Every structure is written in C-alpha cells, then in structure tokens.
Structure 1
Amino acid sequence: MADEIPTVQILDKQNYFEQTLLPLPNALPYPPLAPSSLRLRTSVLSLTVNNFTYAALGTLLHWWDVHPLPPSTPAPYDDGAKYGRISAWGYAEVLESTVPSVPRGSHLWGYVPLGTLAEDLEVRPHRPDGDAADSDGDATAAQVLVTSAHRQRAMPIYNRYFVYPPSGGRAAEIARRTRAVAHDALLRVMHATAFLMADFAFNADAARLVNPGLGPDTNDDAIWSARDADLSGATVLVLAPGSKVAAIFASLLRARPTGRPRRIIGASSEASRAFVEGTGAYDAVISTAGDPLQAVRDHHEDGSRLAIFDFGGRAGIGPRWAASLAAHPQYTARLLFVGVGSDILDPATASAVRAAAAAAPPKPAYKAVRVNADDMRRRAIQRLGEDGYWAEEARSWALFREEGIKGLDVAWGQGMPDVIKGWDRLARGEVLPNEGLVYKL
C-alpha cells in the first residue's frame, strides 16, 4: 500500500456536483515527517447531505482550507481559486508519527479528506500528559488537536481527533467493516449535535442550560432563558424528520426522564414517510404536502407551546410553515422556531444561500434561533468541565453506536471509485431515505 499511487477527489468550487478522481503519482515518495506531526491516511468515511453544505459554504466557513490542494496537483486542478477538496467524517490510520502518545497504527476519528493521499498534520495532545496507549473506548479516548497553521480558521470541532491505539480493538472493527464503525462515520457527529440540543440548549435545568446560537457566551435571559428552552408539555414539530440529527434528537427527547414534550410530530415528504415512521422516534408522522394550520390543529393542544425544529426541510418549508402559523394570534406568542440543518444545496442556488448566511435575518414575530454545535459545545464544557462533558457525550453515543437509527441500512462501498459514484448519487437525489453511505478505503 505504501507505493500505491494515491487518488483524491477534486471539486469545482462553484459547481461542486462536478468532481474529478485525480491520481497523484508525483506525491510519492512522501517526505520525512516533521516533529510533533502525524501522517494520516483516510480508512473509513461517510457521505451525507452535509458534504454539500461544506462545499456550498466552504469559503465563508473555511472548510476549503482544511484539506488544501496538494503541491503535486497538476494543471488545471492546481488553481485553488477554482478547485478544492472537501472533507467527510470517519477514520484515518496513522502511517507515521513523531508524537510519542500516538503510535503508528493508531486510528483517529474526525474530519477526514476524500482520497487515499496521506496527509501530514501538526498536532498536540489534548492533555500535555495525554497517553493514548491504553485507551480504546469512546468514553476514555485520548484526543489530539491540530495546530497546523492552515487549519486555524476552521471551527474547533474540525481540528479535534479522537485517538484509538493499535493495541485496542478499533482497528479490528474497521477491518471487519462492522456496523458500529459505519455508525461512527455516519452518525457520531450528528449525535453530538442532537445531544447538545437535547441535554443542554433545550433543557430547562439552569445548571445545564446553554444558548444554542452563534455569538458570545452569555447567561442573558433576554437572549436565551430556561423558559425558551423548556419543551415540557410542548408539541414539537420536526421538519426533515428523516435526517439523522432529527431522528437522534427526537429519540433523545422521548427518552428523557423529565421535561418530555407532549407530542413529537414528524412532518415528512411522501418519499421519506415510510422510513420516518419506521424509526419509531415520532408520535405521529404527517405530510408536508398538507396545510400546516390543519396539521397543527390535529396534533396540538390549545394553549400549549409549539416548537418547530427545521432540520433541512425542502424548498424553505420551515420558515414558510412558521410564518403561516404565526399569522394566527393563538400561535404567535407560544411559537418557537429552531433552524438546525439545510436541504441539499444545489450549486445553482448556493450564492443566495451564502448571502443569506452572511446577512442578519429579519426578526420574526416569534422566537427564532439557529443552532451552532461548536458554540453549544464550548458553553457545555464551561458548565461541566472538559472531563465531565466528554464523558457524558461518550455515554450518550454508546447507546446509539451499535444499533444506530432503526430502519437505517448501511451500504458499504470499497475504494475511491465507489466514493465518486456515491457523490454522484447524492447530487442526483438518488440516495434513498433509509440508505447510509459508508466507504472503506
């Protein structure tokens, strides 16, 4: 494998549905590894709608910077203004290391490039005395933080990697392509967002409450209060309920010992309805083709709170439904709208999406917030401390890692040619709601 010609996916930044699988023979041999560095090669990755979001907003949020074009990239693909590389979640193998706590043969879970080209990263252990050698479980996994200069404008979560040493069992799981490893690639980062929402941002316990949105850390009740966060007795209406974050969030809400919503309703397209119903995460599933006012009347108790969570409903349906309901005074004062995800971002409309993301949205007549996982995590760590937070997230993830989402089928592919095919299928809208795309490289 050391002398195998590496290949990488190259995207047109303006039309990121267009891709090229590019061999890089001149990248070999690899140079000597610098001090405090790891040489990593992607071993497992997943493809989801998020990959297109990373491309569409890659300049604004510096996702194109994370894995830059390699120096050996030939023309015309060496033009960084036109072409770039995007990333996915999964595992990378440590081919070489000059970091004593991370030996060769370890695997790192985190944000990995689409390709078989090895990547050199400068890192530091999360703890100065951190030792990955005897830790293989998620609750106790060591972590490293990337210090490479080109990565520092990206949000912190993209520079954090969990370390699984060669002496543990994770490498064997990866080799066997287990369902749990597939869930690590497909669902772990989705679970993290859902966990932060359910256990912190939408938790009325003042000791755990954090503001879900972008901005400075503050406990100002005018921005986000326990009353805002309280979903007990509320009707929760979920748009794009088949999204992975949505299904996990709904499951976490249902499992709460206290503070549960009265009902959790999924509003789904007909194409996704059977899968959404099969997850078992929702009390009822309705069609987005219907009248939102009638849907709420059928499932909402008068006088109780109505919370709409939009995980990426098609064609802006979330804001449209919220505006339609807010036009009726009985809902306006008790309405909460939460933006979480986005639909597949077509390159033809991406410029409008980027402009909207960069601009301050108009203030609606109802309470509205857009969540940001990185800010929620930072605030949750302030509440619990580093050890407390990561232990809680790991315990919550352990409940999902083996079983995943009910009805979600894992489709394993092998090698970069299969990754290219999967990207094309996602771009064409051919991936079924119950299908999870995972690849072993």
Structure 2
Amino acid sequence: MTLRLTIDRHDLHRIRWEEAPARALADGEARLRIVRVALTANNITYAAFGDAMHYWDFFPTGDTATGCLPVWGFGEAVESRHEAVKVGERFYGYFPLADELIVQPARANAGGFIDGAEHRRALHTIYNHYARCSADPGYRAEREAEQALLRPLFTTSFLIDDFLADNDAFGAAQLLLSSASSKTAYGTAFCLARRRGQAGAPRVVGLTSQANLGFTRTLGCYDEVIAYDNLAALDRTTRAVYVDFSGSASLRRAIHEGFGDRLAYSCSVGGTHWDELAAKGASRELPGPKPTLFFAPAQASKRIEQWGAAGLQQRLAEAWMAFMQPVTSAQPPWLRVVEHHGPQAAEAVYRALLDGTAAPQDGHIVSLAA
C-alpha cells in the first residue's frame, strides 16, 4: 500500500490521507521510498499558488478538485527497472508528501536525473531534477535536515538578492522585507547583508509580528527590524523596494499607500499570510508600482545562460556554505531541527504552518514511517 496527503485546492484546511495499492513498475521506471522531507511555510505558498504556478501539476491526484503537496527532501531507491538508478541510492529533490514516488529517469548522468514522466515535461527543470547524493559536493549526511529545510528556500533567497543587485535595487536606498522571521526572508537578508560596505548597498529593513520581533533582531542580518504595528517608524522619505514574503493584502496596501511614488518596485515572493492571497482587488488601484511576482527559475535561467550551470552552482554553493555558519553555529543557532514521525505528526505540522502558529526558529522534518 502507498500513502499520501491530498488537499482541497479551494480550502487548504480540508485534507485527507489516502491509501492505494502499490503498482508494479514498468520498464524504465524506479521506485523511490520517501525517507525524510521538510515542511515549511514555503510549502503553504506552494499550495496557495498551486493553480497559478502549476505546483499541483507535479504530482496529480487524478481529481482536479484536490492536489498533493510538493515538498523537498530525500528518497531512496527501493526498486529499479532503469539502469541509471541502483537500489539503495539516495536522491535529493522534489517529492509529494507521501511515502513513495515512481519516477521515469531521463537525461541521467553521474549527478542525477530528470523525471521524464509525461505530465512533468512542460514543468521547470529546477523542480524535476533529482540529485544523486553520492555525487553532490554540497551533501553531508549529518546535514540532511538543514539541506531539506533550507536549500530550496536559500536558492530562492540567493536569486532574489541577485535579481535586486542585477537591477541596482531599482535605485532604492532601502529594502523592506515582510515576514522577516521566515526562512526565505532571512536567507535573502543574509545575502543582502554580505554586500554591506559596498557603494550603493541599500539598508535592509525587516518587518515582522510583535511575537517574532525578538527572534528576528537576534539574527543580525537586518539593519533594522520593525513590528507590523509600528509601520509609522519607517522612513517614508527614502526611496524603497518592497519584497513581500507574507502575501498580506493589508500590509501591502499600507506599504504602497505609505510610500506612493517613493516605492521603486514591489516584489511578491511568498505567502505566509496565504489566506489573503486570493483577496479580490487586493492589488488593484494601489499607489506606486504594480506588485510583480518573483519567479526564481526565470532568474536562474538568465544566470545559467550568462555563467553556465556550473558557474551558477559554484556561486550558490559558496553562499550556501557561508549561510550554514550562522544557521548551525550562532548562539543561539538560527535553526532548531524538530523531527516528526507518522502521518498524524505530519498533519499537525502542516496545520500549524497553515495557521501561522509554528515557531520561526523551528525547522520541521517529517518521515511518514511511524
């Protein structure tokens, strides 16, 4: 039997666990047992943008009313009818919140393979690649949890920083990051902070809830941290860019109305306030620039054309290794790994993330095996 979590696309609180008989492999397929995956606010964003950004298309349920939640983590080959995948090999990549995934390896090489399943061919390669852990220079068995939790988020963080630098921060002297305690936001702030001291480097201002104010200030990667209920403290005379990790329509409006023409660019990244994402008219008739969704694969593709895939990976790996220092070694560490086992525990984490009650310093790793 196989087990997976399915979600009502129109009501993310409505979920259920589904069991089905395991099917036999066809020639050219491999069965990966999903060993451990990360659950973060980023996965809630995947669900919230599931239709608009095709996240539901990766692991179809066969029912257009439901979807299977995509997560990042590790799988182990337990059966293979493809010569490029050996039983016992471990892979890092994009999985459903389930206990197994059947893949059709294509374009296989020493580093891994692409899932060549028909329904995934039109989807972006960055989500279809499975990295062979034995050949991944950034892989450390003892750091699997941190890799599952932060590597996909940090890749987005790295590309946001690169996008802003590529555009000279749109001429702004300050960058406003909402949901500043979230992992993608503080990863971005870390990358931005590495530019401190460079000519024209903008100040980085974190916006967060009163409850997360203390934690966010301890990170040290923001020049200033301001609570949502104290937006009057923002310097509205200085040209700014808003990087929206929260998706809060009311906060977005407050920023746009507060800065008006002094808002140089409005960048939408995630949705920790996922329930406001679909608010009708949320982005209509806002002063200043129209909010623009940041799509990390587009920036990655641009850099691959300019630097080559190896060049991008080299730059990303260098930033990742630097990021791991405060994440694991700071006092207190930026991340506290919390392990969970079994579907009930996984569901509890999902609901905490959905309701916004998860502690920002916690990183949740899930294994469906009890």
TM-score between both structures, scaled by the size of structure 1: 0.74
Contact 1:33 1:97 in 2 (8 A): no
Residues 59-88 of structure 1, C-alpha deviation per residue, up to 9 Å, x if partnerless?
A: 33322221123xxxxxxxxx6133331211
Query: Which of 339, 342, 348 is the matching residue for 1:421?
Result: 348
Query: Which of 69, 77, 94 is the matching residue for 2:77?
Result: 94
Aligned match of 1:394: 317
Q: Hey, which of these two has a bigger chunk of strand by percent?
A: 2
Residues 268-310 of structure 1, C-alpha deviation per residue, up to 9 Å, x if partnerless?
A: 2101111111211112211211244x4216xxxx6x5422222
Gaps of 5+ in 1: 70-78, 132-141, 204-208, 210-225, 327-331
Query: Which of 92, 107, 124 is the matching residue for 1:155?
Result: 124
Contact 2:208 2:227 in 1 (8 A): yes
Structure 1 pair 167/424, CA: closer, same or farther in 2 (3 Å)? closer
Aligned match of 1:338: 267
Q: Within 5 A, what are the aligned runs for 1:10-409?
A: 10-24=6-20, 26-27=21-22, 30-35=23-28, 37-69=29-61, 80-116=63-99, 118-125=100-107, 130-131=109-110, 142-165=111-134, 173=141, 178=142, 180-198=143-161, 200-203=162-165, 209=166, 226-229=167-170, 234-256=173-195, 258-259=198-199, 261-292=201-232, 294-296=233-235, 305-312=239-246, 314-326=248-260, 332-333=261-262, 335-346=264-275, 351-352=278-279, 364-366=287-289, 369-401=292-324, 403-404=326-327, 406-409=333-336
Structure 1 pair 239/61, CA: closer, same or farther in 2 (3 Å)? closer
Residues 220-249 of structure 1, C-alpha deviation per residue, up to 9 Å, x if partnerless?
A: xxxxxx455456xx2222211111111011
Q: Secondary structure at the match of 1:188?
A: helix
Gaps of 5+ in 2: none
Query: Counterparts of 2:342 and 2:325 in 1: how far apart (Å)?
Result: 24
Could you say what the CA RMSD is over the residues aligned between the two structures, in angstroms?
2.9
Residues 136-191 of structure 1, C-alpha deviation per residue, up to 9 Å, x if partnerless?
A: xxxxxx13222111113433322122211399996x82xxxx4x211111111111
Q: Secondary structure at the match of 1:296?
A: coil
Ranked by relative contact order (alpha carbons within 8 Å, sequence separation 6 or more), the top structure is 1
Partner amino acid for 1:55?
A
Shift of residue 323 of structure 1? 2.1
Aligned match of 1:73: none
Structure 1 pair 157/351, CA: closer, same or farther in 2 (3 Å)? same
Contact 1:411 1:438 in 2 (8 A): yes
Partner amino acid for 1:86?
L
Query: Counterparts of 2:210 and 2:136 in 1: how far apart (Å)?
Result: 47
Q: Secondary structure at the match of 1:124?
A: strand
Query: Counterparts of 1:23 and 1:255 in 2: how far apart (Å)?
Result: 47
Structure 1 pair 337/34, CA: closer, same or farther in 2 (3 Å)? same
TM-score between both structures, scaled by the size of structure 2: 0.87
Query: Counterparts of 2:297 and 2:70 in 1: how far apart (Å)?
Result: 17
Query: Counterparts of 1:65 and 1:167 in 2: how far apart (Å)?
Result: 27
Structure 1 pair 68/333, CA: closer, same or farther in 2 (3 Å)? closer
Contact 1:62 1:153 in 2 (8 A): no
